């Protein structure tokens, strides 16, 4: 994936609430030495503690929901939420086949942000290669490869993808789907201290989690699917300015 800055057509869409949420909880363009005392960071940590580290809240706000969805879909759902990033997340398994040294999976990853009314989901086609170490008491090593990142309802992911969107929006009132063209963009000056050196500071990492591989092939509608929820009502076409994302054809 080629990195591109956060951008959108302001005469058609309004994604400013995403930028405002990131700006509220993350320092942008300031010295890293000031990050520890940044007020938004402390507020973000409070949200993570309240929603994830308090067992009763986590159970009612996430575990109970995905347990119900698992029964309704007849599919295995495993929570991937952990208390370092601002989201509630899970993997919904469509297929999982285990061979001698590898696990083949097709799944849909869902993530609900704690920083604002935002959620997203995408399909993953992956192989997990498991190797045994000869060292005493050592654990098996896993090498994960993502073959496809599916960013809209396509092929074998389509039916469950659509059902999950309905379930998420029914359970999280007022939340909107963040499309790939937005969450794959970067914000200049945004520093995320949990990323590895060289990884881009994408909107996805700021709002959700780090369980996505942007280097793998992307399938689906990258720059139109999901944008309809962000349309401007009755835009003033006489007074506007436009930013075009890379690859977008108006």
Which one, of 166, 183, 161, lies nearest residue 227 by Cα? 183
219 Cβ neighbours under 8 A, 6+ residues apart: 123, 148, 149, 150, 151, 154
As given in the structure block, the two tokens for residue 124 are 């993953």
User: Are 58 and 112 within 8 A, CB to CB?
Assistant: no
> What are the pLDDT tens digits along the chain (250 aa)?
567 899 999 999 999 999 999 999 998 988 877 878 889 999 999 999 999 999 999 999 999 999 999 999 999 999 999 988 999 999 999 999 998 888 999 999 999 999 999 999 999 999 988 877 666 566 777 688 999 999 999 999 999 999 999 999 999 999 999 999 999 999 998 988 777 767 788 999 999 999 898 999 999 999 899 999 999 987 665 555 555 555 555 5
Looking at residue 37, its pLDDT comes to 85
Looking at residue 170, its pLDDT comes to 98
User: Are 90 and 102 within 8 A, CB to CB?
Assistant: no
Burial 206-245 (b: 16+ CB within 10 A, else e): bbbbbbbebebeebbebbebbbeebeeeeeeeeeeeeeeb
Q: What is the CA radius of gyration of the chain?
A: 19
As given in the structure block, the two tokens for residue 136 are 């005493």
Looking at residue 95, its pLDDT comes to 95
Looking at residue 248, its pLDDT comes to 54
Looking at residue 101, its pLDDT comes to 85
CA angle 82, 73, 68 (to 5 degrees): 55
Burial 35-71 (b: 16+ CB within 10 A, else e): eeeeebbeebeeebeebbeeeeebeebbeebbeebbe
Looking at residue 246, its pLDDT comes to 58
User: Are 110 and 90 within 8 A, CB to CB?
Assistant: yes
pTM listed for this prediction: 0.88
């Amino acid at each position: 994936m080629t990195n591109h800055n956060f951008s959108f057509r302001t005469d058609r869409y309004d994604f400013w609430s995403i930028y405002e949420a990131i700006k509220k909880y993350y320092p942008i363009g300031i010295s890293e030495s000031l990050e520890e005392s940044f007020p938004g960071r402390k507020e973000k940590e409070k949200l993570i503690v309240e929603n994830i580290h308090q067992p009763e809240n986590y159970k009612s706000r996430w575990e109970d929901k995905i347990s119900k969805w698992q029964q309704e879909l007849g599919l295995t759902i495993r929570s991937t939420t952990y208390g370092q990033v601002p989201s509630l997340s899970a993997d919904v398994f469509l297929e999982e086949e285990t061979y001698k040294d590898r696990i083949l999976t097709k799944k849909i990853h869902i993530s609900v942000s704690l920083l604002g009314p935002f959620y997203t989901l995408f399909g993953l086609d992956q192989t997990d290669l498991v190797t045994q170490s000869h060292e005493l008491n050592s654990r098996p090593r896993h090498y994960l490869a993502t073959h496809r990142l599916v960013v809209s309802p396509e092929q074998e992911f389509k039916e469950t993808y659509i059902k999950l969107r309905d379930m998420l929006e029914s359970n999280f009132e007022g939340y909107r789907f963040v499309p790939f063209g937005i969450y794959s963009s970067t914000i200049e000056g945004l520093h995320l201290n949990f990323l590895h050196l060289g990884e881009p500071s994408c909107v996805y990492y700021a709002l959700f989690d780090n369980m996505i591989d942007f280097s793998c092939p992307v399938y689906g509608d990258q720059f139109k699917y999901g944008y309809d929820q962000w349309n401007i009502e009755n835009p003033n076409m006489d007074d506007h300015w436009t930013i075009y994302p890379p690859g977008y054809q108006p």
